[in-house]
Copies of this chain bind each other. A is one copy, B any other.
Amino acid sequence: MTRWITITFLGTAAGTPTRNRSLPSILVSDARRNILLDCGEGAQHRLIQSGLSVCRVDIVLITHLHGDHVFGLPGLISSMALLGRTRDLIIVGPPGLRDMLSSSVKFLGSLPFKTFIIEVDPKESIMKIIEDSELEIYCTEARHNITDIAYLLQWRVPLGKFRPECAQRLNVPTRYWKALHVGEKVVLENGKVISPEDVVELRRCGPFRIVYTGDTSPCESVIELARGADVLIHEATFSAEEDPACIWPQGHSRTIDAAEVARRAGVRILILTHLSARYEGMEDKLLQEARSVFRNTYIANDLDKYYIEIYP
């Protein structure tokens, strides 16, 4: 079972690259999967610089179809083909993604692997889009000037120390222990309901969750998706000094907007990304703004890695 998650920021700029910031892309890796959140131009180069072969990406989640978040996809697919990838690739994004990719990809000739392009259009409700034995991926619509999908990655993790003596005392068969340990209620054959807290010394109250917004103004749907999340990666294109009456209608956030979303959602850590080029070298100021609202805030730089132990 995955114990550590690594979040690698591959690109942290907004719109156009800066000297040190490439275009938006974030790699989330666990013991078994590599998930790319957005794929701005240059993502494949940053992947290599971070030490990962492009072929090892399993799933790409695209928030929206602005070029800075998606123009790295044709090159990523091209390199995977050149390097002889054979495993399927799953790409999820908003409606129009397939159309956008088709003309570039046709220039690559026939690929040695299958790409499954899944278009989703959640319209502010929370949708489950991918599920396996350990990980579930949900999404909702954020608030940008085109459809932007915010994603939630959720790992079932042990909620604390399992107490076999409690399970035995309650006559819980061992086949239920794992489910209880990761937070599921079970119903025994005799109809008795066993809750995780009956057999686990709780140190977490639920699964491990990472939420990524893409481009958005502060909005209720993201707060709902991020409720109680461990990590919220929120865009913060602008400083607190900007006028929200200008920023919000463009579908962007200020540092303090992202921090307020984090505060209201009750997340554990807020990481800001997607910084406008105008703030090059002024990251400390941005960080202070955000921390005045939400203390546990960080600002991502390209190739920053966050290693997170996902259960106690």
Number of chain A residues close to chain B: CB under 8 A: 35
**How distant is A281 from chain B, measured CB to nearest CB, in Å?**
14
> What is the chain B residue whose CB lies nearest that of A105?
B67
Chain A residues numbered 88-103 whose CB sits less than 8 Å from any CB in chain B: 96, 99-100, 102-103
Binds B, one of A18-26, A120-128, A219-227, A238-246: A18-26
Flag whether A141 is at the interface (Cβ < 8 A): no
Which B residues touch A66, using CB under 8 A? 107
- Give complex CA distance A103, B108 in Å: 15
Task: Report whether B104 and A104 are in contact in the complex, using a CB–CB cutoff of 8 Å.
Answer: yes
- Chain multiplicity (copies): 2
Binds B, one of A41-49, A131-139, A190-198: A41-49
Which B residues touch A22, using CB under 8 A? 42, 45
**How distant is A12 from chain B, measured CB to nearest CB, in Å?**
12
Binds B, one of A70-78, A176-184, A257-265: A70-78
- Give complex CA distance A40, B96 in Å: 24
Which residue of the partner chain, among B54, B71, B83, contacts A104 with CB atoms under 8 Å? B71
> What is the chain B residue whose CB lies nearest that of A68?
B78
Q: With A41-B41, A79-B15 in contact, is A71–B74 under 8 Å at CB? A: yes
Interface string of A27-71 (1 = CB under 8 A from B): 000000000000011101100110000100000000001111001
Chain A residues numbered 156-194 whose CB sits less than 8 Å from any CB in chain B: none
Which residue of the partner chain, among B17, B78, B100, contacts A45 with CB atoms under 8 Å? B17
Which B residues touch A18, using CB under 8 A? 48
Flag whether A130 is at the interface (Cβ < 8 A): no
Interface string of A222-236 (1 = CB under 8 A from B): 000000000000000
**How distant is A302 from chain B, measured CB to nearest CB, in Å?**
10
Q: With A23-B75, A45-B22, A72-B41 in contact, is A107–B65 under 8 Å at CB? A: yes
Which residue of the partner chain, among B15, B42, B68, B99, contacts A41 with CB atoms under 8 Å? B42
Flag whether A308 is at the interface (Cβ < 8 A): no
**How distant is A300 from chain B, measured CB to nearest CB, in Å?**
17
Q: With A19-B49, A48-B17 in contact, is A78–B71 under 8 Å at CB? A: yes
Which B residues touch A71, using CB under 8 A? 41, 71, 74-75, 78, 104
> What is the chain B residue whose CB lies nearest that of A41?
B75
**How distant is A115 from chain B, measured CB to nearest CB, in Å?**
14
Flag whether A82 is at the interface (Cβ < 8 A): yes
Flag whether A292 is at the interface (Cβ < 8 A): no
Which B residues touch A75, using CB under 8 A? 23, 40-41, 67-68, 71
Flag whether A16 is at the interface (Cβ < 8 A): yes
Task: Report whether A54 and B103 are in contact in the complex, using a CB–CB cutoff of 8 Å.
Answer: no
**How distant is A94 from chain B, measured CB to nearest CB, in Å?**
11
- Give complex CA distance A66, B82 in Å: 11
Task: Report whether B108 and A67 are in contact in the complex, using a CB–CB cutoff of 8 Å.
Answer: yes
Task: Report whether A99 and B103 are in contact in the complex, using a CB–CB cutoff of 8 Å.
Answer: yes
Given known contacts A17-B48, A71-B74, what 13 new A-B pairs fall within 8 Å (CB)? A16-B83, A23-B75, A41-B42, A41-B45, A42-B42, A42-B45, A66-B107, A67-B104, A67-B108, A68-B78, A100-B103, A100-B104, A100-B107
